[in-house]
Amino acid sequence: MKISCDVIGDLLPLYAEEMASQDSAVLVADHVRECEVCRRRLDSMRQPVAIPRESVPEEMRNIGKRLLQRTVLLVMAMVFFATTVVTWTFAVLSLRSVPVPLESSVLGVRQENGKVLVEMRVTGYLSWWDQWDYRYDTEVGGKIACLSVNRRLWDVLFQGETPVKTYEVPVMDAYSIWFFTGSEAECIYGDETAAPKPDVNPVLWTALSAGAVCLLLFFLTGWKWLRIAVLFAGNLLLADFAMTGFAWSNNWYSGLGFIWMIYLFMALLMTCSQCLAWALWKDRNRI
């Protein structure tokens, strides 16, 4: 009995995989020797089939990228936050000044050979600067000497008593001498009406001016990067307050360039930490 190609076609997959029974295999083998069509079908079934690689859906790839970005962002935020905390702590403890009271610092004032000498008991570091007083309505005028003694916050908190040094400060031709304790000043010699004028705090006024200008430009233009500039100016003000309490001239004993370097670095670290924290907060619900 001749077997139709349809019946053989049902058995070909089993025969090609060598899963057919012995009788069925003999039947198929006899048929394909005589039938060209079924023989080609069998050959095609025995050809290796290339299984296409399963492609990763686009959405899954985006999830992987976002998770990687979030991980990198989190690591950067942690590094900047730790660096900010360490830097600010070190700067405040090492450079923040604590004024020493007048009664603990000034031992006496005397004149000698036409010079005014101020005998100082210094338990920290001595700051000494001059101002000029010009009074056009009277004949009085000249140099005003300003003195202050400060200790670093680190010394106050952890070192206790520091070595005491005694100095005789030659104030020379100053007709009025003032001693500063933070934001207050007291006359210790000469004309008490010649009060020194408060010095301009360059950090304070630069930060206020720059912040106001950037804020105005932001409202006029809508440029988003100006918000970071305003934030940087605010952090500069915060650094000034943390370091000196805005009493800049009474606390610093180094050059202006050194001050700016410290302030800018502190404000930059704080701004980067805040921006990274804000980016993490916005990205909290994105997967």
Domain membership flag for residue 54: no
Cβ contacts of residue 95 below 8 Å, gap of 6+? 152, 243, 262
pLDDT, one tens digit per residue, over 44-61 is 877 776 655 555 566 666
Tell me, yes or no, whether 173 and 35 share the same domain: no
Strands 97-99 and 165-172: unpaired
Tell if the pTM clears 0.75, that is, is over it: no
- Going by C-alpha positions, the residue among 49, 29, 38, 45 that lies closest to residue 4 is 38
Neighbours of 242 (CB within 10 A): 15
Tell me, yes or no, whether 106 and 220 share the same domain: no
DSSP assignment of 139-159 equals S-EEEEEEEEEEEEHHIIIII
pLDDT score recorded for residue 138? 44
Statement: residue 1 has pLDDT above 60:
no
Tell me, yes or no, whether 205 and 275 share the same domain: yes
Higher pLDDT, 134 or 286: 286
**Of the residues 162, 190, 218, which one is the last residue of a structural domain?**
190
Tell me, yes or no, whether 209 and 225 share the same domain: yes
Residue-number span of the structural domain to which 234 is assigned: 61-95+201-282
Domain membership flag for residue 52: no
Tell me, yes or no, whether 157 and 214 share the same domain: no
Dihedral angle computed from the Cα positions of residues 181, 187, 188 and 189, in that order, rounded to the nearest 10 degrees: 150
**Of the residues 160, 190, 220, which one is the last residue of a structural domain?**
190
